[in-house]
Each structure stands twice: as C-alpha cells, then as structure tokens.
C-alpha cells in the first residue's frame, strides 16, 4: 500500500517535470510569435494553454486525492503541499505566456515590440527560459544550489524591466501610446514569469530541507 502511494507521488513529480518543459516551450514560442509577428505560432501558444490548464487540474486533483485517501507521513505531506503550489506556479507561467501571445495576435500583422526594445525582450525571454529550466532541475535532481542561481537571474530581469521603462518613457520615444502600453504590460508578464520560477524553486527547497521558505518576496514593478 505505502509502496504504491510512493509511486503515485513520484508520478506527480514526473508530471510536474513534464509540465515544466511544456511551460518552457510556451514561453519560448510566445516570444518567437511576439518578436517575429508570427500569427500561427501565437495561435498555437494560446490554444496549448488549455492543455496546461487541464494538466493543472489533473495534477491538483491527484494531490487532493492523495491527501484525502491516506494519511501521508511528513516527507510525503511536504511533497504534496509543495506540488500543489508548484502546479499553480506552472499554470500561471503558462497563462502569462498566453498573455504574451495574445498581444502578438492582437497587433498582427504589425510587430507589437519596436526594434529598439527587441533585444531587451529577447534577453528577458532567454532569462525566463533559464529560470524555468533551473526550477525544473531543482525539482528533478533536487539540486539546492541550482536554486541560488535563480536569485541572480531575477535581479537581471528587474534591471531589464527598468531599462524598458527608461526607453519607453524617454522623450525620443516615437512609437506612440499603444506600443508603450503593450511593452509595459509585456515586461510585467515576463517579470511575473520569473517571479513564479523563483517561488516554485522555493517550494522545492522546502520539500528537500523541510524548512519553510523564508522571505520569498515579490518584486515591485
């Protein structure tokens, strides 16, 4: 009985790892659709978000059942509680990727992002990808050190966001209100994706160390 319980828990973790890969793909493709004004890719990211949401519901339900069916012991409980939060963080990252793709779709055939901000958004997306990948490795390999890198990446993300504001609020901004508003919201979405990756890693540290995450703070826009 306990053996099969362990197996089911491992199955939850395996699904989280695969959901993590799907989220990386979603963020990558959403950025491609944005920077290339690629409608077909944008549509696919938006459609695929329903798959992520379904996965979220499935894993959450599985966790609820594991909690209800049998009194889990301490380490198992921590894993289930952390999994419930991680699956939420992953689903949110997927939603935010879909938000990016929706802006790409809304502005098609135009490019939502002006050339002067392309490199910035490209780097934001790369960073987000690295952060989600790192959170995935923390989860898959229980590598606590990997989690520490996330904080550095997160600082670079915040700096990229500040740079965006400098560009779009500068006197020589010539792209009008709509593109500025798009850029501000897009920047917010990438920043939040990064925040969710950090929060996800914090939950895994909790599972591994048994310590409740400390000072998991929420960077300001």
Contact residues for a copy of itself, defined by CB under 8 A: 53, 57, 60-61, 64, 67-68, 71-72, 74, 77-78, 81, 84-85, 88, 91-92, 95, 98-99, 102, 165, 168-169, 173, 176-178, 180-181, 184-185, 188, 206, 212, 214-215, 217-218, 220-221
How far from chain centre, in Å, is Cα 101? Answer: 14
Structure tokens at 80: 């289930």
The least CB distance from residue 172 to a copy of itself, in Å, is 11
Nearest to a copy of itself of 98, 135 (CB atom): 98
Nearest to a copy of itself of 119, 185 (CB atom): 185
The least CB distance from residue 216 to a copy of itself, in Å, is 9
Nearest to a copy of itself of 32, 81 (CB atom): 81
Nearest to a copy of itself of 16, 84 (CB atom): 84
Nearest to a copy of itself of 137, 193 (CB atom): 193
Burial 14-50 (b: 16+ CB within 10 A, else e): ebbeebbebbbbbbbbbbbbbbebbeebbbbbbebbe
Q: With contact defined as beta carbons under 8 Å apart, do 111 and 37 qualify? A: yes
d(CA 194, CA 203): 15
DSSP 110: S
The least CB distance from residue 78 to a copy of itself, in Å, is 8
The least CB distance from residue 77 to a copy of itself, in Å, is 5
d(CA 218, CA 78): 23
DSSP 218: -
């Amino acid at each position: 009985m306990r053996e099969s319980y362990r197996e089911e828990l491992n199955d939850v973790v395996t699904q989280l790892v695969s959901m993590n890969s799907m989220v990386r793909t979603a963020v990558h493709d959403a950025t491609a659709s944005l920077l290339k004004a690629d409608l077909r890719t944008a549509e696919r990211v938006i459609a695929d978000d329903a798959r992520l949401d379904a996965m979220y519901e499935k894993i959450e339900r599985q966790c609820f059942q594991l909690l209800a069916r049998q009194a889990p012991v301490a380490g198992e409980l921590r894993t289930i509680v952390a999994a419930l939060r991680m699956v939420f963080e992953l689903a949110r990252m997927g939603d935010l990727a879909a938000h990016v793709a929706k802006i790409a779709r809304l502005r098609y055939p135009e490019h939502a992002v002006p050339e002067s901000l392309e490199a910035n958004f490209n780097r934001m997306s790369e960073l987000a990808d690295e952060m989600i990948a790192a959170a995935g490795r923390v989860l898959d390999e229980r590598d606590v050190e990997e989690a520490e890198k996330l904080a550095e990446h997160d600082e670079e993300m915040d700096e990229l966001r500040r740079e965006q504001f400098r560009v779009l609020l500068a006197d020589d901004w010539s792209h009008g209100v709509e593109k500025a508003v798009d850029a501000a919201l897009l920047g917010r979405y990438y920043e939040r994706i990064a925040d969710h990756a950090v929060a996800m890693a914090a939950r895994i540290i909790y599972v591994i160390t048994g310590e409740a995450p400390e000072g998991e703070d929420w960077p300001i826009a």
